Structure 1
Amino acid sequence: MEFAELITTPKLDGVVLHSPFHDPIDGTLCITGHHLILSTRKENVQELWLLIQAIDSVEKKPPSNPAQNGGTIILKCKDFRQLQMDIPTSYDFQNVYISIERLSNLDRAELSYPFFYRPMYNILEDGHTLFQPETEFSKLLSTDEWRVSHVNRNYSVCRSYSQTLIVPKNIDDNTLISAASFREGGRFPILSYKHENGAVLLRSSQPLLCNSNKRSRPDEKILDAVLGPYKKGYIIDTRSTNLIGHCKGKGGGTEPDGHYTQWNKICKNLDKLVKCDGSVLEHFSKLIEACNDPNISTDKWLSRLEGSHWLTHVQNVLSSSCLVAQCLDKEGVSVLVHGSSGLDATLLITAVAQVILNPDCRTVRGLQALIEREFLQAGHPFQTRHAKFCYSSSKNKNLQPTFLLFLDCVHQLHYQFPYSFEFTTRMLIVIFENSYYSNFGTFIGNNECERREMKLAENTTSFWSYLNRPDVITNFLNPMYEPNKAAIWPSIAPVSLVLWSDLYLRWVVDQKQQRRATQKIQQLIQNDKDLRSKVIRMRKQLIDLQKELQHVRLQNDDEFLEEN
């Protein structure tokens, strides 16, 4: 298929663009296979380059007066921006609408822009291979407790897992294969994180009991190998007891108590995320609707914010993550986290718990490694979950803002502990944007297997390769960062949670002054650091000079003694 077949009007003059915080621009619209470009001859006016993949919804609005020609096309984007284009003639109005509608709904990943993008800079490091499990767990693998398994080399054991898995050293591959048949989608328990006190965080999917409470000795063997004799662990099930009962009716459920005697079970009510019924996206859509209402009163705003339940979801995730973190850190007890499929709430909880506990996850590279490990390599289905977003009328049950919820939780932690993160929340926003639309191939596909089938490493550029370039990453470094080796325990009280206004309100409330103030603060801090560095250098020079003077004085004393 050629893109030209989908574009009925590739170029059109006299288009007027209305965008947030800018005066209307009259220019020429060009439609390519991947971009909308609006250019003008006016000086000091920046042209629009909009990636078509960023468009979530296309709406057309005919003129109020039937005697008038043309119409208005409204583009609602996945970064919450809303753009309006006034088209001069009815014929072009219809053609432009159809062209954008076709291009924004292509469902073949291989036709997306990352496969056509060629960077105009040198690739300093290949982000596609930057966070390999052997490297990330190198310290752990040097012990006698864990090993690398390639049992999933051809993705035959579990399609959603990566090829390289970290498993207990005394568990052979045949045991892993048998255990996989006991878990939904083959997602048997594997290592997610080992805490400094030795406690281990595992993740998996639900067991398949087939209504008979059958057992799997290989599965039990894996979990018992992690604990060791006479020790206890926790199974944190992200579902409510009602949902577990519903899953039992379909052959799923939870581990039978009689066969997992060393494990205590705790159920957390994160049903909305586990059921994947689209309700979380629906709640988020209500939040964005309220954010985009310019005439909303204070009372109505507070009511609609509460009615969206978005901050309730954030609170529930933080609460469950803190529980997991406390089990690991305070009690020194290992934890297995799972829900039904182990693809959404499970990964969300294990990832946020690590940000709370592990100071490395609060650095630039550490957060990237965490996203690779807990979402990309763990099989979070980005392609399916991010196909559409909050503006789309297609509320498919597979669409979920799980990853955005993770980033919002990190934002809440950053808000409460601003000095403990090496990066600013602006980096979280850039990661969010690139997970939904991008020049890069990092977030394409639903799992590693699909990404290898599409040969992403050979055909696309990694987002991490771009982000980690020195001239890029310096824009997202936190000037107030002070490394904190301790765990950070957030307050999850409702009054402690805040709306992420820098993200959700950035096209509604002009944040230009706020950005200027932030830049000024960063400059002051940098100047202060430069001054401190200068003082330290001068102090060192003074010490060296004093040492030199003392040495000269000692030489003079020796010469005086020799002469007398």
Structure 2
Amino acid sequence: MEFADHIGTPKLDGVILHSPFHEPVDGTLCVSGHHLILSSRKEDVEELWLLHQCIDSVEKRPNGTNSNNQNGGSLILKCKDLRILQLDIATTEEFLNVYASIERLSNLDNASNLYPFFFRPMYSILEDGHTLFKPELEFSKLLASDEWRITNVNKNYYVCPTYSSTIIVPKSIDDETIMAAANFRDGGRFPVLSYRHDNGAVLMRSSQPLLNNCNRRCRADEKILNQVLGMNKKGYIIDTRSNNLTSHCKAKGGGTEPEGHYTQWRRTHRGLDKIANCTGALLDCFQKFMDACNDTGCSPDKWVSRVERSNWLSHVQNALNAACLVAQCLDQEGASVLVHGSSGLDSTLLVTSIAQVILNPDCRTVRGLQALIEREWLQAGHPFQMRHGKFCYSNARNKNQQPTFLLFLDCVQQLHYQFPCSFEFTTQMLIILFEHSYASQFGTFLGNCDREREKLEVAKGTTSLWSYLNRPNILTSILNPLYEPNKTAIWPSVAPVSLNLWTEFYHRWIVDQSQYKKAMTKMHGLIENDKNVRSKVVKYRKQLADLQKEYDNFLDENDGSESG
């Protein structure tokens, strides 16, 4: 079916747009295959370009009916970027046509029909973001050692459909062992390298073992894990599920590693159940959280109570707690860690990625964060298309949709808030990542795994978000002027009183932040001026030192006599 078949009214005059912090705009509405466009004849009014993919739900509010059929109504557009917009349409027929068009175009099932495959950048591509963070490049130092190698055992995605085609494994482990271990793990997600700390401790991730209710063992799986540890060393298995959820999974054939066969590994549980066991409960919590944020009429005490009852910040706290535990095992005990929940697609990736931001200063840079998202979310098979199909405003969402990636970004924001000088980027970069993960002109977050992206030919047919973000003019807009490289780990406080409500993001369409942005811009300008002054002072000091050195040499050559 062509896009035109979905559009009942392609163009309509006299539509009134109501949007946050702007006066109502009377303009012309155009419904294209991928965008809603509303433009006004007034030169000082900015056009609205809204991707259909960004619309989470659309509500009809008819004005009533009469014999002339002229009453029309309002369409309430609730967007995945948390905006709420209103379109007032004068006639009932056009009102219903526009509603039906938005409903159809915002729910396209085929990823190849989405805007990234039609977007053509108006700028030159300086570097191809689709190939920027290949595993062989990211782990080049490790691969130069005698401990690790690249395997292509998953080249056709038969061993594990959600892993990438190239995987880093211990050099002493052959492909037959890997295939046997994959059969023992849920979805074939056998233990793979996630991160190697400076002290040699290794972070790995996987899915739960499949015990089939009989505590069966898998020598291949044991061999991989013990090979990582070496002789006479202990490691930790950190299960992101509670004991109760683990027992529930065991009743269905899953569970955790039998202690008798993993004697070098100690197991501990961290109850991130609403994330580890994808039931849609996390998105329900976020909906309650946003309902509280959007309710500007209630008293402060009631508002705080509603935010607390939503439990969103509790999930942030629990995720940070689990990540800190992993980081402490790696950094302070020098012990290797395996992290897994049930499928290994959500809470596992959440914890391993936050732990790396805590430990690895490279992950706190612009490119380092991009690389982290590539290897720990995209190449690791987090199902973005499935998880982000609907958001908190939609009544049509299902249990497969949940904001795990947003929870990760919020956790990074918490670290940024406590250590503002340790991050090369501002939190604006985190907001950009959120927006493009839900609706974008770029192909980076399309599909559910590398296998799907390869089938869709995303690298060939779309532009990468990284290609855009790394352009000099965009890059400078997200750089943090307070940044001072910090080569050590950052250990956050995870006490409730230390957690910060990310108002820059959650309240940006609710509370006017224009004055705050002006103040931040002015502050950044002062910091840049101060840095320029300090840079000039350093330069002048160097010049004076060079002159003093030349003068001293002159005196030495002339036996200390200035008259010589």
Cα deviation, 1:510-534, whole Å, max 9, x if unaligned, reads 1101111111111111111111111
8 Å Cα contact 2:240/2:272 also seen in 1:
yes
- Give me the whole-angstrom Cα distance separating, in 2, the residues matched to 1:556 and 1:497: 67
Identify which of 128, 141, 144 aligns with 1:142: 144
- How far does residue 43 in structure 1 lie from its aligned partner after superposition? 2.2
**2:22 maps to 1:22:** yes
Figure out how many residues of one structure are paired with residues of the other and give that number: 562
- Give me the whole-angstrom Cα distance separating, in 1, the residues matched to 2:66 and 2:199: 73
Letter paired with 1:103: L
Aligned residue in 1 for 2:264: 262
- Give me the whole-angstrom Cα distance separating, in 2, the residues matched to 1:386 and 1:560: 77
Cα deviation, 1:365-400, whole Å, max 9, x if unaligned, reads 111100001000000000000001010002300001
Q: Summarize the alignment of residues 46-125 of structure 1 with structure 2, pairs less than 5 Å apart.
A: 46-63=46-63, 69-125=71-127
- Give me the whole-angstrom Cα distance separating, in 2, the residues matched to 1:525 and 1:65: 60
Comparing 495-504 with 549-558, greater Cα deviation is found at: 549-558
Q: SS at the partner of 2:184?
A: coil
**2:503 maps to 1:501:** yes
Aligned residue in 2 for 1:7: 7
- How far does residue 303 in structure 1 lie from its aligned partner after superposition? 1.2
Aligned residue in 2 for 1:373: 375
- How far does residue 167 in structure 1 lie from its aligned partner after superposition? 0.5
C-alpha RMSD of matched pairs (Å): 1.4
Letter paired with 2:193: L
- Give me the whole-angstrom Cα distance separating, in 2, the residues matched to 1:561 and 1:299: 82
- Give me the whole-angstrom Cα distance separating, in 2, the residues matched to 1:440 and 1:108: 16
- Give me the whole-angstrom Cα distance separating, in 1, the residues matched to 2:50 and 2:206: 39
Identify which of 442, 445, 449 aligns with 1:443: 445
- Give me the whole-angstrom Cα distance separating, in 2, the residues matched to 1:337 and 1:32: 45
- How far does residue 548 in structure 1 lie from its aligned partner after superposition? 3.4
Aligned residue in 2 for 1:272: 274
Aligned residue in 2 for 1:34: 34
Query: Normalised by the size of structure 1, how large is the TM-score?
Result: 0.98
Comparing 305-314 with 293-302, greater Cα deviation is found at: 293-302
Q: SS at the partner of 1:181?
A: helix
- Give me the whole-angstrom Cα distance separating, in 2, the residues matched to 1:560 and 1:337: 72
Aligned residue in 1 for 2:488: 486
Cα deviation, 1:201-253, whole Å, max 9, x if unaligned, reads 01000111111111100000001100111111111111111111111111111
Q: Summarize the alignment of residues 550-561 of structure 1 with structure 2, pairs less than 5 Å apart.
A: 550-554=552-556
Letter paired with 2:5: E
Cα deviation, 1:280-310, whole Å, max 9, x if unaligned, reads 1001001111111121211210111011100
- How far does residue 456 in structure 1 lie from its aligned partner after superposition? 0.4
Aligned residue in 2 for 1:190: 192
8 Å Cα contact 2:64/2:71 also seen in 1:
no
Letter paired with 1:231: K
**2:410 maps to 1:412:** no
8 Å Cα contact 2:200/2:334 also seen in 1:
yes
Q: Summarize the alignment of residues 205-216 of structure 1 with structure 2, pairs less than 5 Å apart.
A: 205-216=207-218
- How far does residue 556 in structure 1 lie from its aligned partner after superposition? 5.2
Aligned residue in 2 for 1:356: 358
Q: 1:558 to 1:523 in 2, by over 3 A?
A: closer
8 Å Cα contact 2:555/2:561 also seen in 1:
no
Aligned residue in 2 for 1:472: 474
- Give me the whole-angstrom Cα distance separating, in 2, the residues matched to 1:6 and 1:161: 36
- Give me the whole-angstrom Cα distance separating, in 2, the residues matched to 1:304 and 1:355: 30
Q: Summarize the alignment of residues 297-316 of structure 1 with structure 2, pairs less than 5 Å apart.
A: 297-316=299-318
Q: Summarize the alignment of residues 508-547 of structure 1 with structure 2, pairs less than 5 Å apart.
A: 508-547=510-549
Q: 1:548 to 1:273 in 2, by over 3 A?
A: same
- Give me the whole-angstrom Cα distance separating, in 2, the residues matched to 1:86 and 1:341: 45
The unaligned stretches of length 5 or more in structure 1 are none
**2:201 maps to 1:199:** yes
- Give me the whole-angstrom Cα distance separating, in 2, the residues matched to 1:552 and 1:267: 72
- Give me the whole-angstrom Cα distance separating, in 2, the residues matched to 1:422 and 1:130: 19
Aligned residue in 1 for 2:293: 291
Identify which of 423, 426, 444 aligns with 2:425: 423
Aligned residue in 1 for 2:158: 156
Comparing 56-65 with 330-339, greater Cα deviation is found at: 56-65
- Give me the whole-angstrom Cα distance separating, in 1, the residues matched to 2:561 and 2:256: 88
- Give me the whole-angstrom Cα distance separating, in 2, the residues matched to 1:324 and 1:424: 26
Cα deviation, 1:416-444, whole Å, max 9, x if unaligned, reads 01111010000000001000000100000
Q: Summarize the alignment of residues 221-236 of structure 1 with structure 2, pairs less than 5 Å apart.
A: 221-236=223-238
The unaligned stretches of length 5 or more in structure 2 are none
- Give me the whole-angstrom Cα distance separating, in 2, the residues matched to 1:221 and 1:525: 54
Aligned residue in 2 for 1:339: 341
8 Å Cα contact 2:193/2:203 also seen in 1:
yes
Aligned residue in 2 for 1:253: 255
- How far does residue 541 in structure 1 lie from its aligned partner after superposition? 2.2
Letter paired with 2:24: P
- How far does residue 555 in structure 1 lie from its aligned partner after superposition? 5.1
Letter paired with 1:287: F
Letter paired with 1:168: P
Query: Normalised by the size of structure 2, how large is the TM-score?
Result: 0.98
8 Å Cα contact 2:56/2:391 also seen in 1:
yes
Letter paired with 2:95: F
- Give me the whole-angstrom Cα distance separating, in 2, the residues matched to 1:561 and 1:248: 93
Aligned residue in 2 for 1:383: 385
Identify which of 330, 350, 372 aligns with 1:328: 330
Q: 1:553 to 1:96 in 2, by over 3 A?
A: same
8 Å Cα contact 2:64/2:72 also seen in 1:
no
How much identity, in percent, do the aligned residues show? 68
Aligned residue in 2 for 1:127: 129
Letter paired with 1:378: A
- Give me the whole-angstrom Cα distance separating, in 2, the residues matched to 1:333 and 1:64: 68
Cα deviation, 1:308-336, whole Å, max 9, x if unaligned, reads 10000000000010111111111111110
- Give me the whole-angstrom Cα distance separating, in 2, the residues matched to 1:548 and 1:337: 60
Letter paired with 1:431: L
Identify which of 168, 175, 190 aligns with 2:170: 168
Q: SS at the partner of 1:153?
A: coil
Cα deviation, 1:101-130, whole Å, max 9, x if unaligned, reads 110011110000000000000100100000
Identify which of 298, 302, 321 aligns with 1:319: 321
- Give me the whole-angstrom Cα distance separating, in 2, the residues matched to 1:162 and 1:551: 62
- How far does residue 51 in structure 1 lie from its aligned partner after superposition? 1.1
Letter paired with 2:23: D
- Give me the whole-angstrom Cα distance separating, in 2, the residues matched to 1:238 and 1:540: 54
- How far does residue 543 in structure 1 lie from its aligned partner after superposition? 2.4
